[in-house]
Amino acid sequence: MNAFSSILLALLAFALLIPGSASAASVSISKTAETALAKHIAAAPAATKDKLNAQYLALQSYQRQETSLDERYKSLHAGNGQLLDAVNKRIKAIDAEKLARLANEANAAREKYKPLFDLYASLNKRIADARKLKLKELTAVLSRQAETVKVAVQLARAEIRMRDDALKDAKASTAKTVKALKTKLAAIDPLRDQTKVAQSAVSGMKKNLPGIVKTMNACVKSGSFAGTLEALNALVSSSKGIADQKARIVGYENGIAAVINGVNAQIPAK
């Protein structure tokens, strides 16, 4: 009965380690190897059996942590991507309506006064022509007309200059706001770099796992309880290291979310 219970416990413990039940977990063991390992542990001396079962439970715990962390990271990363896109769109739209209005007003002023400018240019050309022909009276008449129009032209140019300045100042103010927000968003970059470092560490540790599992299977086959325990210890250590790195990755992603949310809250309302 005790042997059967040990086998059942071992099978239950490794149920979360096979690919079909925990695809995100790093340790992968075949059904056949799992069954053989469970029987191997059931046949171990009492003291060794306790250690082996303890490592089973520890490994199972770290594998569950890893699966949970993978799910959290996936959810956070997707959410951050969507929010970052939305924030960038909001930043791009800052003062868009105001700038468009000011640009339209400046363009409208130019169109409005174009006939006046054309008239002034035409009068000046006619004055030049009259002077060439030495038509003094016509030159004098045209000059008086030009002086009258000149006042209106100066006022028109002043209005256009005022509207151009208003547009220029608004663009400068908007650019300053956008630059400040973009600078704050740039705090995401070092967090992404740290994420890549942690992901690289995970990849490095995962490369060792197949060899450890292979060694464990060989120890099970040869009946080496000490070798199996050593392999299990290595798997637990690696799984803990992987879980720790993935916890860091989730932490970095939370940091990215904090940066994005902080910037989002500072974007001026329309």
Q: How confident is the model at residue 6 (pLDDT cuts 50, 70, 90)?
A: very low
pLDDT of residue 24: 52
List, for residues 206-235, the tens digit of each pLDDT value: 999 999 999 999 999 999 999 999 999 999
What's at 185, amino acid-wise?
L
What's the CA gap between 90 and 95, in Å, rounded?
A: 10
Q: Which residue has the tokens 């695809």?
A: 23
What percentage of the chain reaches a pLDDT higher than 90? 83
**Rounded to the nearest 10 degrees, what angle do helices 46-92 and 136-185 cross at?**
170
pLDDT, mean of residues 172-179: 97
What percentage of the chain reaches a pLDDT higher than 70? 91
Q: What is the DSSP letter of 187?
A: T
Residues 6+ apart with CB under 8 A from 96: none
Lowest mean pLDDT across 17-31, 74-88, 119-133, 223-237? 17-31
